[in-house]
Amino acid sequence: MHDDDFERDLARRLRAYEANVPAAAAEAKRSRPNGHRFGWLVFAVGGASVIAAGLLAFVLLRPPMRASGMPPDRAAVSLAVR
Amino acid sequence: MEGIAHLDATAPARDDDFTATFGNHYTSLVRRLTVVVGGDFEAGRDLAQDAYLRAYRARHRFDGGDPRAWLYTIGLRLAFNERERRRRWDRLMGSRSPMPTWVVPEDRGLHEALRGLRREHRAALLLNVVDGYTQAEIAGMLGVAPGTVASWLSRAKAQLREALTDA
């Protein structure tokens, strides 16, 4: 191919290539996995996990309650006697 | 340099004038910068926005010549500097820039061939082959000697010819 022919063809292809850029960018965005789409789900699951872990820690680690007064069965008996 | 001069009475001083003069060239600037940076559309758009803002701030320096050449001059110089800035930042921080949106137009052969060129070569080639600017005009726009542009164009065309003939 002569230089002139090559440059003419190159110019035509380059113009078409540039003109196609916005459409190709839109297509690339559509086909790219969207990290924002599931961001809220990750955030919600993470938050729920933290709350559940806090509750579990509270239940497991709280000090045992001290027994005070009469045992329940004795209290019931005394009320019945009255 | 064509399109750039000091204060001139014909410069678009008002916002309406600026939009009328430069607004039509914004889309082509986005396309051009996207191709020059190798197909990263978001980088191209960011650079075009930055160039447009800078052109607006410096609108009093526009001499009323070729508005597209003036916008391209600002945008392309930003594109060259941005690459260096990004490289320095990545080296300093040991980090990689965010994942770009790579554009892959239909003409894959040309796309790959263009990506094989240096950024400056791509810019000079597009300005010459697509827009028809002379080597002297391109030299003025890119801030280099005309001989450098001649060398860039020669190498870029030879490289593309080889790549596209092989493909």
What's the average model confidence in pLDDT over B16-36? 87
**Does B72 score more than 90 pLDDT?**
yes
pLDDT digits (tens, 9 = 90+) for A30-51: 876 655 556 677 778 888 999 9
Q: Match 């003419």 to its residue by tokens.
A: A8
Test B103 with A6 for CB contact under 8 angstroms.
no
Average pLDDT (B48-61) is 91
- At a CB cut-off of 8 Å and minimum separation 6, what does B138 contact? B124, B127, B128, B149
This prediction has a pTM of: 0.68
pLDDT, tens digit, 9 for 90 and up, residues A50-81 = 999 999 888 888 776 665 655 566 656 666 66
Residue (of B81, B97, B80, B79) closest to B89 by Cα position:
B97
Residue A13 near chain B (CB below 8 Å):
yes
The verdict on a CB contact (< 8 Å) between A14 and B110 is yes
Which residues are within 8 A (CB) of B126 and not within 5 positions of it... i.e. 6 or more apart? A14, A18, B32, B35, B36
Confirm or reject contact between A36 and chain B (CB < 8 A): no
Provide, as residue numbers in chain A, all residues whose Cβ is less than 8 Å from the Cβ of B129.
Answer: 7, 10-11, 14
Q: How confident is the model at residue B99 (pLDDT cuts 50, 70, 90)?
A: low
Residue B145 in this model has a pLDDT that exceeds 70:
yes
Contacts of B76 (CB under 8 A, 6+ apart): B32, B33, B36, B123, B141, B142
pLDDT, position B9: 44
B107/A18 CB distance under 8 A = no
Give the per-residue pLDDT at A78.
64
Binned at pLDDT 50, 70 and 90, residue B8 comes out as very low
Residue B12, pLDDT > 90, answer no
**What was the ipTM of the complex prediction?**
0.78
pLDDT in tens, B106-133: 888 999 899 899 999 999 999 999 999 9
Task: Say if the Cβ atoms of B101 and A7 lie within 8 Å.
Answer: no
- CB A16 to CB B103 under 8 A? no
Please state, rounded to an integer, the average pLDDT across all residues of chain B: 84
Altogether, the residues listed in chain A come to a count of 82
